Chain A
Amino acid sequence: MTAGLLPARALVWLMGGFAMLLAVQWQRLPLWLLAACLLLVIWRWLAQAGRVRLPGRILKGAVMLALITAYTASVGGRFTVETAGSFFVLAVALKWLETRTARDFYVLFFILCYLAAVNFLFQQGILWSLLNFFAILVLLIGLQVLNAPDLSHPLRSGGKRLAGLFLKTLPVVVLLFIFFPRLSPLWSVPLVSDQARTGISDTMAPGTISSLAQSSERAFRVTFPGEPPPHRERYWRALILDRYDGTEWTPSRDRPAEPAGKVMTEGSIGSLKDDEYDVLMEPTNRRWAFGLANSRAVSNNVERTEDGLFRFRRPADTAVQYRLARDGAPTGAPALSGRERDRYLRLPASGEVRSRQLARRLDRAHDSDRALIRTLMQRFRNQPYYYTLQPPAMPDDPVDTLLFDAQRGFCAHYASATAFVLRAAGIPSRIVVGYQGGSPGADNEYLIVRQYDAHAWVEAWIPGAGWRRIDPTAAISPARIEQGLQEAVADEGSFLSGEWASPEKYHDIELVRWASLQIDRINYHWQRWVVGYQGQTQMDLMGRLPGNWSLTKLGYLSAGVVGAALLVAGIVTAWRQRTGRHRDPVQRLFHRWRRQLARRGVDSSHIDTPVQLADRASARFPEQSRLHQAFARTINNYYYGEASGSERRRLRWLLKRMKGAGRTPG
């Protein structure tokens, strides 16, 4: 069982490519799998170096069994691209122990190529994408080394060759990328991932949102055609929670779990009209989309629910772009049905005595619901309530504790308490979870909404007016709504306290801020124009070209591009074979001499020296002996002697003389 059949230098490249492809996925891969990959690769390497042996059948079987057991346990019957991707990684890791022949090498190469494709489902940022493409190039250098083991300087010569090939084919690749028809999905495929990601979830307990406030991960980006609405108006609704069990808010009306549909097509069509806005959302693995109140779906990849929320037909398992317009009808039906009213008023049967008393008191004191709500907000504004990321624990009767004892809380606490009091006072109300705010990107091109912008507020039903937004946080900490979380908790110093590496934390430093915004902008355009270049976007771009471009026509065009490229390549090859081979003019003259002799029956091969050829020619045509010998001498003089500079002229003259002599009979 030796491992010496494959050149070590080729293996190194393959291992390097594997490491890069793993790096792209390292955030999502379980730690044990990464460790296993590392160990198996090291094992293979030591075997190559002759330090250890590759495992025998039994040991290999045991390793395989152990890893596959670990894998099955961690996957637990789910089938998504993520689990399949982990399996791929596992397969590659195990394959290292079996990489003995060139055939195994190719199997690994193919798996790694597909792994690169799978990587693109997880990571589409420009830097990760570049790393992914770079890993492919590294693998291709590995193939070159495999096919020419004695190639010296694989990085330089192989890399140069690869770069040459890459640059020559780049125009074709770009044209194909633009014109290749983007077909709609052929069939429904497994989700990329069904694991929850950082972001709002469909339950709200005290603390769920404040944990998000510690993350500066991007949630989505929004582009408005002109000025974006002011900060305090930017309420991005995602979910409605209307069932309260004493500690947690959950949605009562879950849509029936439907199987995930086909992957959504991108939905950004043409330039934005006045009221429209584009949202480019990071993957959430959830079905909800974010939108301002009273919006209408413009792109067809989202649909509006009766609550005025937006839903995808398939969980957003990759980044997705959609378009909404702000001119939609107000949300909700003109009146609440009895059942709905009942649902929005329901509270746990017991607990929170003081809050219920407060609600009854308020209810008695006010005729209208609006007045009652105003008074409640006044209470928040005037009494010493604090907005904090570090509220005390409130295990029992959280609403009572917050309102009367602690008076310190985060948006989720205040929203929960407000909804509770309103319901107790007989006003139908519900919690809305989403994001509030968003900071401008580079040159105010778009807004970036981050996880720490996550927010919860309340909507209450006012007869005749419908659902109205009530945000207790706005009463307690206007800075949060006007400027954002960082300003709101500036005194406390708790902003992103756990994320010391996040550039958002150092937003005060102009350079950091500028750099991070520029990087974000590059990523945004990459995402929008390269990653997001799909179905509708392509048709939109094609619509701007003259002529009516259907998918079929694009197909013909792509075929034409490929055909033209092949033709050009063929012509270049033929031309090079004809003329370009001898750049050296004296070489060309030498070959003219050879051709002339060949026509007159003196064969030669390229390994003949000029003198040999002259001897042969002299034997055949003794009368021209002097001409041929002179020709050979001149060539030798040009290359090896002291060249006088007139050799080329002399050679040409000699050739002409020979030709003339060849024609005269005898």
Chain B
Amino acid sequence: MKNPLRHRWRRWVNRRIPRSDHQVLGQRNVFILPTGAGVVFGLLLVIMLITGINYQNSLIYLLVFMLGALFVAAMHQTHRNLAGTEITLVEAGEGFPGQELGFVFHLGRAGGDAIQLMLMTEDGTERSVSVTHEEVISVRLPIRGTRRGPVRVSRIRIETRFPFGLLRAWSWIRPASEGLCYPAPLRPAPESGADHLGDSGDQRRKDAMDHVDIRPWRQGDLSQRVQWKRYARTGELVIADWEGDASDPVWLDFEAWPGADRELRLSYLAWLLEDRERAGQPWGLRFPGFERGPDNGAEHRREGLRALGRFGLEAQSASTKNASHRTSREAA
């Protein structure tokens, strides 16, 4: 923000529009100014008035007054088109870096209709909607995620130029909730310790048999983990638990790549996680401060990816949240 005037304006706006997932647009936070066309229109009215004066033509006066009054009335109309709209962030998007994270907003009106509202992200994506007072409109705005971690949308501009496009009323919503960017999935190198796929995996599993805890089958155990060979041999239904084994094909462990960079490890984990999901295999995830048992499914996947995305950044994001009302720092 080079321009100090702009800077101060933005600070003032931020003070007026605190971070919140819910925003009711009203006199306090709706701004209105003529568009470029509106300015030209104003000049045109002046020229027309001068024409009317110089030709002593009453009808031109009348035309100028009519258009001028309509312009002012349009100002109210444009303002009212926006004011009274309630906008709520209902879903903050999640996804991988480079993907578009869908932020879903709901727009509604307590009364009256809003025609042709435009929602704009800072990077220039636009969506236009009309909201009548009976319905709630859902708008999905794509925000591009760049880096792993929480994605904060600095602000979404909501604008309208209806009815004549001569005036522009706008406001912002500054969502408090954050989206999330998962680690970019990265396939671990085959020789690195964590590749459990392929034939070597079976071999290793056998090698690790001594460390296995054998326990009887309980309801809820996955069929994959039943020791079918043993069942065939003995008729006992037992489960092998490889708890604590880093080279376990089910458990994805942060500690599997000693010496690797943190972000790299997270990327490996994300890749493996996605890989298991694709294959429909159960997986468990373990890293410092987090552990989820083997399972699969969309819910499980999201939980894992979220944890990976937030790993190590939770504290940081919380501190930002605390600072959110101290808008001055944020604006800088």
Contact = CB atoms under 8 A, between A and B. Distances in A.
Interface of A: 102, 106, 110, 113-114, 116-118, 120-121, 124, 129, 132-133, 136, 140, 143-144, 146-148, 150-151, 158, 161, 165-166, 168-169, 172-173, 176-177, 180, 182-189, 192, 262-266, 318, 530-535, 565-566, 569, 573-574, 577, 580-583, 591, 603, 605-607
Nearest to B66: A173
Contacts of A161: 77, 163
Given A117-B51, A148-B130, A169-B73, A581 B110 contact: yes
A606 B111 CA distance: 11
Given A150-B130, A573-B80, A606-B110, A264 B163 contact: no
Nearest to A165: B73
A147 B76 contact: no
13 contacts: A136-B67, A140-B70, A148-B115, A148-B163, A150-B130, A169-B72, A177-B62, A182-B61, A183-B53, A185-B55, A531-B58, A573-B76, A606-B88
A151 B108 CA distance: 18
Nearest to A176: B65
B108 A117 contact: no
A133 B56 contact: no
A607 B37 contact: no
Given A168-B73, A177-B61, A606 B86 contact: yes
B313 interface: no
Interface stretch (B39-47, B190-198, B214-222, B288-296): B39-47
A566 B79 CA distance: 14
A189 B55 contact: yes
B116 A147 contact: yes
B106 A169 contact: no
Interface in B18-70: 22, 26-27, 37, 40-41, 44, 47-48, 50-67, 69-70
B172 to A, nearest CB: 17
Contacts of A185: 53-56
B209 interface: no
Contacts of B237: none
B65 A173 contact: yes
A176 B106 CA distance: 44
B12 to A, nearest CB: 22
B13 interface: no
A117 B106 contact: no
Contacts of B66: 133, 136, 166, 169, 173
Interface of B: 22, 26-27, 37, 40-41, 44, 47-48, 50-67, 69-70, 72-74, 76-77, 79-80, 83-84, 86, 88, 90, 106, 108, 110-112, 115-116, 130, 136, 161-166
A169 B53 contact: no
A120 B164 CA distance: 24
Contacts of A265: 56
B165 A606 contact: no
A581 B70 CA distance: 24
Nearest to B52: A117
A147 B55 contact: no
The residue in A168, A169, A565 that gathers the most chain B C-beta atoms within 10 A of its C-beta is A169
A121 B69 CA distance: 22
A462 B93 CA distance: 105
Given A581-B111, A607-B136, A177 B56 contact: no
A577 B44 contact: no
A265 B57 CA distance: 10
Contact of B74 (A165, A180, A318): A165
A574 B27 contact: yes
Contacts of B22: 603, 605
Given A148-B163, A605-B88, 4 more contacts: A106-B37, A143-B163, A143-B165, A264-B56
A208 B74 CA distance: 55
Contacts of A129: 59
Contacts of B165: 102, 106, 143, 146-147
The residue in A265, A606, A607 that gathers the most chain B C-beta atoms within 10 A of its C-beta is A606
The residue in A121, A140, A147 that gathers the most chain B C-beta atoms within 10 A of its C-beta is A147
Q: Which 7 A-B pairs have the closest CB atoms?
A: A169-B69, A120-B59, A581-B111, A148-B116, A165-B73, A189-B54, A143-B164
Given A117-B60, A185-B53, A147 B77 contact: no
A313 B64 CA distance: 28
A567 to B, nearest CB: 12
Nearest to B110: A581
B67 A113 contact: yes
Contacts of B69: 169, 172-173, 176, 565
Contacts of A606: 86, 88, 108, 110, 136
Contacts of B112: 581
A187 B58 contact: no
Contact of B59 (A114, A186, A530, A574): A530
Contacts of A116: 63
Contact of A582 (B48, B74, B110, B115): B110
Contacts of B64: 117
Nearest to B163: A144
Nearest to B77: A165
B77 A117 contact: no
Contacts of A150: 116, 130
B27 A120 contact: no
The residue in B74, B90, B136 that gathers the most chain A C-beta atoms within 10 A of its C-beta is B74
Contacts of A583: 111
A530 B62 contact: yes
Contact of B79 (A262, A573, A582): A573
Given A110-B40, A146-B165, A147-B162, A186 B57 contact: no
Contacts of B50: 186
Contact of B111 (A531, A580, A605): A580
